[in-house]
Amino acid sequence: MTNEELLRKATHTLADFGGAGEAPLTIEQVRQFLRLAITPQIMLPDVRTVTSNANKWQESKIDFSSRIMRPGIEGERLSDGNRVKPTTGIVEISTVLVRGEVPVTDEVLEDQVEQAGYADTLMAMIAEAVGRDLEELAINGDTTSGDAYLALLNGWIYQARNGTGANTYNGAGDAQDYQKIFRNLVNTLPDRFKRDIPNMRLYVPLRLEERYRDILANRGTPLGDLILMGNNEIRYQSILVKGVPMMTITAGTPDTSNVLLTHRMNLYFGIRRAIRLESFRDPREGQTSFIVTCRADAEIAHIPATALAYSVDVEPN
């Protein structure tokens, strides 16, 4: 297939939309675009999203990790040795450039029923696709990957497995005993990081969540009946289990993947506020290209506050 044939194959069709040249988004348009991009995803709406006008910046973090209370004496202040200051640190966000292009021909607007309103539909779909792809990068990014896109940065899974102070567990010997895997992950995570259970998460591949639902439903208990009949949340020891479609599954015998346990706000997704939406119409080809450009990064604030199970069996039944 020639380059010209490949270009035609990758081209969608749409009449004039916004003329030629660059169309940077206003602050409000950026917020709307981010809402459209993030909302349909699983992890991006759940984690701490931070923005800046810079490509690289630092976010402050603060914590009281040790006891601050001491015995008191009436009328006396605490001695210097008994006064406590918080533990502080920084999370460095260093974004990488990502770009997407959607070529659209003039004839689409003429031929589809929405006509002028089709542009809004198209932009909403582009925003959702951008969010999906950014979530994939944030989760599965690995600079050693053979996939050029995923090799842009090290994502949450890579950091939780390879970062300093990582708590990891090899689930290869547990088959599909997911309750055992969850229990070992909870036991692996230091107790001081379990104080806010409502905001703790077990992020799992969607295939694992579906299998775990079947396991619970087959127990013949009232809880199993509820899970069988509906789409109720599932939890392990009060920790929400969330199935994530974009978590990588490695094909093999069996197929394997990862399970990540952490406080949801321990995961940072950084994005440069100046998202650019450009449109360029070439009348010679009769098409307009919509180009989305942004810079993004994914970081774990405190790696010891995560626990990762790897080589987990997610072979479909």
Give residue for tokens 């944030």: 138
35: nearest Cα among 25, 45, 47, 24: 45
Q: Is residue 115 part of a domain?
A: yes
The CATH number that applies at residue 170 is 3.90.1690
Overall number of domains in the chain:
1
Q: Domain containing 272: what range?
A: 9-58+91-313
Q: Is residue 2 part of a domain?
A: no
pLDDT tens for 96-152 read 999 999 888 877 756 765 666 676 778 788 889 999 999 999 999 999 999 999 999
Q: Is residue 248 part of a domain?
A: yes
Calpha distance 257→310 (Å, rounded): 6
pLDDT, residue 4, reads: 52
Q: Is residue 81 part of a domain?
A: no
Give residue for tokens 């089709």: 118
Confidence class of residue 171 from pLDDT cuts 50, 70 and 90? very high
Residue 35 pLDDT more than 90?
no
pLDDT, residue 296, reads: 96
Calpha distance 280→104 (Å, rounded): 10
| Mean pLDDT value of segment 261-286 | 87
